[in-house]
Amino acid sequence: MKIWFDADNGPHVLIMSPLAREFRRRGHEVVFTARDRTKTCELLDLYGFDYQKVGGLYGSGMSGKVRGTLGRAWELARAMKGSGAKVSFGHGSRALPIASRLLGVPSVTMYDYEWVDARLFNWFCRGILLPDAITMARCSEAGISTTKAVLYPGFKEELYLGSGSLDNTIPGDLGLDPDGIHVLLRPPATTAHYHNPEAEVILDAILRRLAEEPRVQLVYLPRTPDQHDLPARAGVKRVIIPEKVYDGPSLVAAMDMVISGGGTMTREAAIFGVPSFSFFRGRSGMVDETLAQRGRLVMLPDADSVSSLMHVQKKQGAITRPDPAPLVKFICDAIESAAG
C-alpha cells in the first residue's frame, strides 16, 4: 500500500520519521510532499527522505492564507494524480485534505492544539488524531467532530524523542561553554493567526532577566528578521544564532533551559525533563495544561511572572527518554484503518 505524507511545517518531519520507518517495516511504500518553509525541506534532507516540493510561503493576512491553501491544494492534487496513494496523512496540513478529496484519497490529520478551526478537517478528513490529554468534551467545545476524533495515548513528541541517538556534537559545534548556563529561546510567531502581542512584552522581560546572569549562553532561534537583534538590545552578552539546521531533540537535550512563545520545543523539553518555560499567549490548550499540572512545564502568563517563576540555573540530572513503540503502533494502525 502506498501512503502519502505531507510535511507542511518543519516539526512535522520529526513526527513523520518514525511513522514512515514503521510503515516501511510493515511492507508499505511512503511518499512525501513538502511545503518549502520553516526548514521543512532541510529537515527532510537531514533525515534522508526523498520528497516532492509543492508550494511555499503564503501571502499575508487571512485572505493570503486562504488563497495559499487553495492554491497549494490544487498543486498537490496535480502532483499526486495517478500516484496510487491509498491514504494521506498530515499534521494539521490544510491543503492536504482538500487535495486528497479532489483525488478520492481518504485523509487522516493529527494535531494537538484544539483551538484551531476544525471545520475543514471535519469536512474532508476520515479521522482526526488528537492526544488523550484533550478530552472529548473539549473536542466538542472546540468544534472538533467527535465522530471523527480518535484519541491517542500520550503526547506526539513521544513518537520521536525516544527513538534514534542524540547528536552529542552540538554543544561543541555551537561553542557552548561547559560552565555556562545554556538557554534555548524561541520568540513568538508574530505572523500567526493566534499571536497575542502580550507575548512580546513577556519576551522583553525574559531577555532582561537573562541579561542579569553573566553565565547565560543564549542559543537564539529568531523566526523573522526583525527579531534578530532583540537579545542584544536587552543587554544579553553571549548570544548564538545557529547558522545551520540542527536536529531539534538533540538541541533541546543539550540545554539547561528551554523557553518559547510557541509549543513544540517547550513540550519536547518537558518530556525530556529539561526545565521548560512557555510564554505562549494564545488560548490555553489541554496539552500544555496537562504538562503544567504535572509540574513538567511552567507557564509565564505575564511579564511580572518572569522574575518569580523562571529560575536561571543549570539543569539537574540526566534527560529521560520515552518509549515510542506503543504510540507509533497506535498511529500507524489508525492510518491503515482509514485506508479501508
- Which domains occur in the chain, in start order? 2-162+324-339 (3.40.50.2000), 170-309 (3.40.50.2000)
Per-chain mean pLDDT for the chain: 94
Phi-psi domain of 175 (left: phi exceeds 0; alpha: psi -120 through 50; beta: other): left
The band of 190, judged by pLDDT with boundaries at 50, 70 and 90, is low
Calpha distance 239→326 (Å, rounded): 39
With beta carbons less than 8 A apart as the criterion, state whether 151 and 111 touch.
no
What was the pLDDT predicted at 38?
75
Task: Give the count of beta carbons closer than 10 Å to the beta carbon of residue 180.
Answer: 17
Q: Estimate the share of the chain in helix, then strand, then coil, as percent rounded to the nearest 5.
A: 40, 15, 45
Q: Which residues of 231-266 are buried (b: 16+ CB within 10 A; e: fewer)?
A: beebebebbbeeeeebbbbbbbbbbbbbbbbbbbbb
What was the pLDDT predicted at 65?
87
132-186: pLDDT as tens digits? 999 999 999 999 999 999 999 999 999 999 988 899 999 999 999 999 999 999 9
Grid cell at residue 16: 513523520
5-32: pLDDT as tens digits? 999 988 899 999 999 999 999 999 999 9
54-102: pLDDT as tens digits? 998 887 778 888 899 999 999 999 999 999 999 999 999 999 999 999 9
What was the pLDDT predicted at 224?
87
- Mean pLDDT, range 235-243, rounded to an integer: 95
Q: How far is CA 105 from the centre of its chain?
A: 25
With beta carbons less than 8 A apart as the criterion, state whether 237 and 207 touch.
no
**What angle, 0 to 180 degrees and rounded to 10, lies between the N-to-C axes of helices 286-293 and 264-272?**
30
Query: Is residue 192 pLDDT above 90, yes or no?
Result: no
Grid cell at residue 54: 509543492
What was the pLDDT predicted at 325?
96
With beta carbons less than 8 A apart as the criterion, state whether 35 and 73 touch.
no
Question: Is the pLDDT higher at 128 or at 283?
Answer: 128
- Mean pLDDT, range 261-274, rounded to an integer: 93
Q: Is the pTM of this model over 0.95?
A: no
- Mean pLDDT, range 265-286, rounded to an integer: 95
C-alpha dihedral (240, 241, 246, 248), degrees to nearest 10:
90
**What angle, 0 to 180 degrees and rounded to 10, lies between the N-to-C axes of helices 61-80 and 95-103?**
40
What are the E-state strand segments in the chain?
2-7, 29-34, 52-53, 85-90, 107-110, 127-131, 149-152, 181-186, 216-220, 239-240, 257-260, 276-278, 298-299
Closest CA to 264 of 161, 151, 166, 334: 161
Closest CA to 289 of 87, 134, 122, 136: 134
Question: Is the pLDDT higher at 252 or at 193?
Answer: 252
